[in-house]
Amino acid sequence: MGGGSQTTTTDEDGEFLFIGLSSAEWSFTATLDGYQGVRGIVTIRRTNNRPVEFELPWLETGGVFRERTDFEAEGGIPKFRFEEDHTFEFEDDEGEGEGNYGIVDQTAVLIVRDYDGPDDRFSVNTPVVVEFADEQFSSLTFAGVQIPKKP
């Protein structure tokens, strides 16, 4: 295997670059909160600058809604949309975001992948937690505001 250990962070498109790797077989591990890590081995040759592509599989934790489920406050914001594939979208007064979620008991842990707002206040390292009012998931609480389920 290649020599030494190196660490990097991806750019906003999920891409990264290592410069000056010696010709060898290199082992790499890619991780992201809310996803299973991926380990791979790549043969690097100094004359071969081909990109290495991979996709991180989502680490399923907790339950999901059986169908698209929307929650929306009076006036339309904040609002949440939960899909049955563990993904969600939301919008609040400061922007909008998307990510993955899992429901444990009556609490959903939301891992925000992307947030477009003035301060990008959410990151994958700080999950957002919403709590549901009852077992019928008739409403959720976000930032102290109770948001009803849309019919």
Q: What pLDDT was estimated at residue 109?
A: 84
Beta strands in the chain (DSSP E): 24-30, 38-44, 69-72, 79-82, 87-92, 95-104, 107-116, 128-132, 139-142, 145-148
Q: CA-CA distance, 115 to 145, in Å (whole number)?
A: 20
Q: What pLDDT was estimated at residue 65?
A: 93
- For residues 74 and 143, membership in a common domain is answered with yes
- For residues 74 and 52, membership in a common domain is answered with no
Whole-prediction pTM value? 0.61
Structural domain count, the chain: 2
Q: What pLDDT was estimated at residue 68?
A: 96
Q: What pLDDT was estimated at residue 32?
A: 63
- For residues 78 and 139, membership in a common domain is answered with yes
How is residue 26 written in tokens? 């290199």
Instruction: Please indicate, yes or no, if residue 64 is contained in any of the structural domains.
Output: no
Q: What pLDDT was estimated at residue 45?
A: 73
Q: What pLDDT was estimated at residue 6?
A: 75
Show the domain range for 128. Answer: 69-148
Per-residue confidence of the chain (151 residues) as pLDDT tens digits? 555 677 777 777 777 777 777 788 877 777 665 555 567 777 777 666 666 665 555 555 678 899 999 999 999 999 999 999 889 999 998 899 998 888 888 888 888 878 887 777 766 656 788 999 998 999 999 988 899 999 8
- For residues 34 and 94, membership in a common domain is answered with no
How is residue 49 written in tokens? 């600058």
